[in-house]
Amino acid sequence: MQLLKISEYARNCEQQSPRFTPEIYIFETTTEVDTFAATRLIEQVQAKPASILTLPTGNTPVGMYKQVVNAYNQRLTDLHAVTIFNLDEYYPISQEHPNSYAAIMKRHLINHLLVAAWHIPNGEAKDPELEAERYKQLLEQHQPIDLAILGIGPGTTCHIGFNEKGSSIGSNVRYVPLHPETKEANAKLFDNPRDIPDGTITQGIADILQAKQILVIAKGTSKAWGINRALKGPVSSDAPASFLRLHPNVTFVLDKNAGQYIQ
Ligand code: PGA
């Protein structure tokens, strides 16, 4: 059940002109968030079979991918012409490590269906700067991205991709050290928390804002602060997700816990 559609919300927030008004959907359950996001992805591919997508990893999109794979298995969608760019990857990390974003993407999506191409930064590359440059050039060859789907960082990180606090609006694909708060949160997802790498290679804020459409998905109370901060207060690099308010076509889809401060 959809609780609220608050396109009015951002209009009422403290804003500096010119800013755009994100669409915001808040759902009672996380499954409804997954369904909304999966439907948006499938509709995008229906409208343009050779879509270029930026896709996230982490826990948040797992349910969305499950629904996309279900739809694929029922022949309700066909992604054979789609090109996928992952948003980010840890660095350094073995692609075989179960917590690498490469392994997570394979587990939840790539192993289950056919796509035209799938690109992700190589966590095993010798030089992260060179690898970032390679990925940046590849991305540039395919831009503009048709649809970018993102999560948001937990706690007060307010990151998108691994664009941590201090990331500039003009940033492109690059190596970014993990912020200590992100490191602490994500280390809990590793069997051995000490295995968490120090860094990442991530699409930059400018790469994300370059997409034609952006869909932000967030679930749970750990995202509530970041969602509120992204939508309120100054658009500034101390809250990288706030830069999304500079894009004309952004949708936030939240469960009621992630959306608790903005209802
Ligand atoms: P999560 O990560 O989906 O695992 O919460 C999101 C993020 O850190 O951007």
Question: What are the backbone angles phi and psi of residue 224, rounded to the nearest 5°?
Answer: -65, -45
- As for ligand 1, residues whose beta carbon falls within 6 Å of it are 58-60, 151-154, 159
Contact 210, 145 (CB under 8 A): yes
Percent above pLDDT 70 for the chain: 93
Residue 14 has pLDDT above 60, yes or no: no
pTM above threshold 0.75: yes
Give distance in angstroms: CA of 179 to centre of ligand 1: 13
DSSP at 47: H
DSSP at 163: B
- Which numbered atom of ligand 1 lies nearest the CA of 220? 5
| Average predicted confidence (pLDDT) for the chain | 93
- Cis ω for the linkage preceding 61 (within 30 of 0): no
Residues 111-161 pLDDT 10s? 999 999 999 999 999 999 999 999 999 999 999 999 999 999 999 999 999
Contact 150, 161 (CB under 8 A): yes
> pLDDT tier at 19 (50, 70, 90 boundaries)?
confident
Looking at residue 18, its pLDDT comes to 52
Looking at residue 15, its pLDDT comes to 43
Q: Name the closest-CA residue to atom 2, ligand 1.
A: 58
Query: Rounded to an integer, what distance in angstroms lies between the CA atom of residue 189 and that of residue 191?
Result: 7
